[in-house]
Amino acid sequence: MVYFVRLDKVVEEYNEVYFKPVKKMLDDLYAKIVQILFIDKNAKNSAAHAVRRVFLF
């Protein structure tokens, strides 16, 4: 029984310390990429053009 309590704490700590922050960062990054690729098509920013070249060939 003690084993499962410890395991639950480990899983909870992993989710709070590692998974949630990384997921938020990746979601923000994906949102920026989508905005550059599909929403901001007329941008003259060189970074936007570079991202489009990489993802859209």
Domain residue spans in the chain? Answer: 25-57
Per-residue confidence in pLDDT tens, the chain, 57 aa: 899 999 999 999 999 999 999 999 999 998 888 877 776 666 566 666 676 667 665
pLDDT value of position 17: 96
pLDDT value of position 35: 78
Task: Tell me the CA end-to-end span of the chain in Å, nearest whole number.
Answer: 55
pLDDT value of position 7: 95
> pTM (2 decimals)?
0.59
Residues 6 or more apart whose Cβ sits within 8 Å of residue 40: 48
| Spatial distance between the Cα atoms of 27 and 21, rounded to a whole number of angstroms | 10
Run of H or E residues at 8: helix 2-14
